[in-house]
Amino acid sequence: MVLPSQPILGLIDGMEVLQLLASVGKPISGLEISKELNIEKTKVNRILKTLAYIGFTAPANNRKYTLGPAIHVLSAQLLHGSGLIKNALKYLVDLTELNVVVAMGVLWHDKVTYIYHWQPGMLPADGLGSMDLFPATQSSIGLALLAEKSDEEIGRIIQLDGPLPGQSSKEEFFSAIEFVRNEGYAKALFENHQSIGIKLGVPGYAAIALAHIENKLPVEEYLKVLKEKAALIEATGPLYR
């Protein structure tokens, strides 16, 4: 998305700080945040104190901050209001019967954020929020959602002149993107296992995937079931209200 002509940069920085706090899972100092996000330290401290005032952050020991109670209120409101989670959860649980990894995620910058990530041996409900950020170029969910964008947009999201996790070269990466555009699904390899992913919605706001499929197994049957569940999720209503 193109930056608007009159962006509220302080709001952008505040959201970046809040999302970093949410992703690290531990108290973190203003200095650490400043270095990670390349935002001036004094500005970071003002943002943290402002977020603490409205309950989204809270001071911890050693001049560090952690998440405040308001973030959990927001999480509950999102769970209540998100058509994506409500519509998808039943069908994701159905997919766990295949006894492979079942995932649903969204693209965030150059990473995939997993809303649901279930592995064999877990209770189905434990798949909610169980996985950290993962490189989009190494994920079938990431590839499925990146393929929705133009090559120019991809170039703004992914640092194509640097290492591309899961891809041996820029050419191999764009070959994987072209595969998605032609075949309607993404495939990826991770630790010698296959992963397949399909976007949800037009344009794609999220994607679902089956992963940790043995490398020598054909994926056609898995793909058939995944497509059926994707269609059912989309048919239940809007992904976002």
Q: Which domains does the chain have, with CATH numbers?
A: 9-72 (1.10.10.10), 82-235 (3.30.450.40)
**Backbone phi and psi for residue 7, each to the nearest 5 degrees, phi listed first:** -70, 150
What pLDDT shows up at residue 230?
Answer: 94
The alpha carbon of residue 164 and the mean position of all alpha carbons in its chain are separated, in whole angstroms, by 17
| pLDDT above 60 (res 177) | yes
User: How confident is residue 22, by pLDDT bands cut at 50, 70 and 90?
Assistant: confident
| pLDDT above 70 (res 205) | yes
What pLDDT shows up at residue 237?
Answer: 62
- CB within 8 A of 116, min separation 6: which ones? 88, 89, 92, 102, 103, 104, 105, 127, 128, 129, 130
Mean pLDDT check: name the lowest of 136-145, 157-166, 169-178, 232-241. Answer: 232-241
| pLDDT above 70 (res 26) | yes
The contacts found for 235-238 with CB under 8 angstroms, 24 or more apart, are 236/83, 236/87, 237/83, 237/87, 238/83
Q: Does residue 55 sit in helix, strand or coil? A: coil
Whether residue 7 is preceded by a cis peptide bond, meaning omega within 30 degrees of 0, is no
Point out which residues pair with 186 in neighbouring strands.
197
| pLDDT above 90 (res 192) | no
User: How confident is residue 61, by pLDDT bands cut at 50, 70 and 90?
Assistant: confident
Question: Angle at Cα 188 formed by Cα 215 and Cα 219, nearest 5°?
Answer: 50
Structure tokens that stand for 59 in this block: 């001071």
Mean pLDDT check: name the lowest of 26-40, 97-111, 126-140, 214-228. Answer: 126-140
Structure tokens that stand for 37 in this block: 């996000």
Q: What is the mean pLDDT of residues 99-115?
A: 92
| pLDDT above 60 (res 96) | yes
Range among 117-126, 137-146, 185-194 with highest mean pLDDT value: 137-146
What pLDDT, in 10s, does the model give residues 109-135?
A: 899 989 899 999 999 888 887 777 899
Range among 10-19, 124-133, 178-187 with highest mean pLDDT value: 178-187
More confident residue, 108 or 3: 108
What pLDDT shows up at residue 186?
Answer: 97
Question: For the packed helices 41-53 and 30-37, what is the interaxial angle rounded to 10 degrees?
Answer: 120
Q: What is the mean pLDDT of residues 171-194?
A: 94
What pLDDT shows up at residue 241?
Answer: 44
Task: Kindly report the pTM of this predicted structure.
Answer: 0.81
